[in-house]
Amino acid sequence: MRDAAAARDAPASFASAVDGYLRGQGAPVRMVFAEGRGYGLVTTRALVAGDCVLVETPLACTTTYAARARVCARCLLAASQAGSGEWALACKRCHHVRFCSAHCACAARAAHDGVECAALCALARAEAAGEVPTEALDLVVSTIRILADRANGHVSRPYPAATDELSYWSYAHRLQSVRRTKRTGEHIRQAVVASLRLLPPSARVPPAELFDVLNRHQCNAYGVTGARGEERALCSFAGAFHLLNHSCAPNCVFDCVPLRGSVAPSTSHGDRALSVADAPLAASRDDERNGPPLFGIFALYALPAGAELLHSYAKSTDGPAARRQYLLDHYAFECACIRCEVEAAGDVDLSLDALRCAAPECGTGLTIPVLTVSAIGDGDDGTALAAGARTRRVRCVHCGRDGAAGATLIDPMRP
């Protein structure tokens, strides 16, 4: 999210950095500026449904307080995916972060040991004493990570092969903030007060500076959601994901299932472009396998060249009133997208339910098309499939399960 005023005042170095970022990963998108709307991303070629159009590693990523025992703090793998209720491997000091393996625990040590671990120990005591508001816990955990990264001089790359580096200062230099009212800024104020009490003096920053950073973080954060809409993690991005503008009828979607390995955006056409498994993979290295999660943005529909990529800042399962209130509270704008207009008029149902995951244990995520390469076996209709045969399926961006594809996906917003 980046507004028009910020866009006009943006230094040329920002535009150059983003252009280099997009070219470097071969993304089929480019950054544009529209008066009154600010920066956005448009396609440079025609896309098919399921194309991976952009990948990025978060600048900061933390598990939610409620899900901390069930989700690996490094790779975000859910314990349920391994047939378990919780991960057993935990930090021996704070007991807050859990890991799926010794590899992830070792990879997380540099960022976690020291400032973050000590602050999370203090958070456990403060939470038990009722000193931290429940509604602020997730943002407090994110704040601790952000300031621990600052104290450690941590820098990150927005994707594995990137040459530019992002840091604590990228929040102020790259991300937009919005004007908060006393009510909509209260959760940020609570997080500022609580976090500065929990952190050691050497890791603290002035309250006004921290409020500004968290305001920008909140305006550009992506929630990582699991089956049945479980909130698993909160990530902020400063490479290019933050440039996507909003629509309640999106044409692209954030995949909450991290990509395994270094997946590049699709640069091919036709059916082959539909499969993440077919995307080029970088050579496997320990620092990539155990690195921070890498996420992708995928096309929901076939899109022509020059189309603006739009994703939904609000939950697609909510009704128009709930979405509009959420957007007003968190992003300070009143949504006037076509979905809100037609739903308010009662003319058309644009609930996106046709794209919803059909798995009984999920039912909340949107689905994206993929192609799978089969061994010798039976297809969904009982017919035999030869080895190497390609079948069209869909995968849920919340639970990761795949199923048989339904009808061809057509953008309902296109005439």
Quick check: is 10 in a domain? no
246/159: higher pLDDT: 246
Quick check: is 187 in a domain? yes
Tell me: do 66 and 52 sit in the same domain.
no
Residue 82, domain extent:
62-230
Tell me: do 88 and 103 sit in the same domain.
yes
198/275: higher pLDDT: 198
Choosing from 333, 355, 377, the residue where a domain stops is 355
Q: How many CB atoms lie within 10 A of CB 350?
A: 20
Mean pLDDT of the region 268-275: 35
Is the predicted pLDDT of residue 283 greater than 70, yes or no? no
Out of 177-186, 311-320, 323-332, 378-387, least confident range: 378-387
Query: How high does pLDDT run on average in the chain?
Result: 82
| pLDDT value of residue 277 | 35
CB 191 within 8 A of CB 232: no
Spatial distance between the Cα atoms of 161 and 398, rounded to a whole number of angstroms: 27
Return the residue matching tokens 């995968």. 395
Q: Which of 391, 113, 100 is closest to 258 using CA atoms?
A: 100
Question: Total structural domains in the chain?
Answer: 2
Out of 22-31, 33-42, 191-200, least confident range: 33-42
The 10s digit of each residue's pLDDT in 286-345 is 444 556 889 999 999 899 999 999 999 988 888 888 888 888 888 888 888 888 887 766
| pLDDT value of residue 290 | 56
Tell me: do 218 and 286 sit in the same domain.
no
Quick check: is 414 in a domain? no
| pLDDT value of residue 33 | 84
Out of 92-101, 183-192, 405-414, least confident range: 405-414
Q: Vertex 364, ends 69 and 63: CA angle to 5°?
A: 25
Mean pLDDT of the region 86-104: 95
Burial of 339 (0-12, 13-18, 19+ CB in 10 A): buried
Tell me: do 185 and 251 sit in the same domain.
no
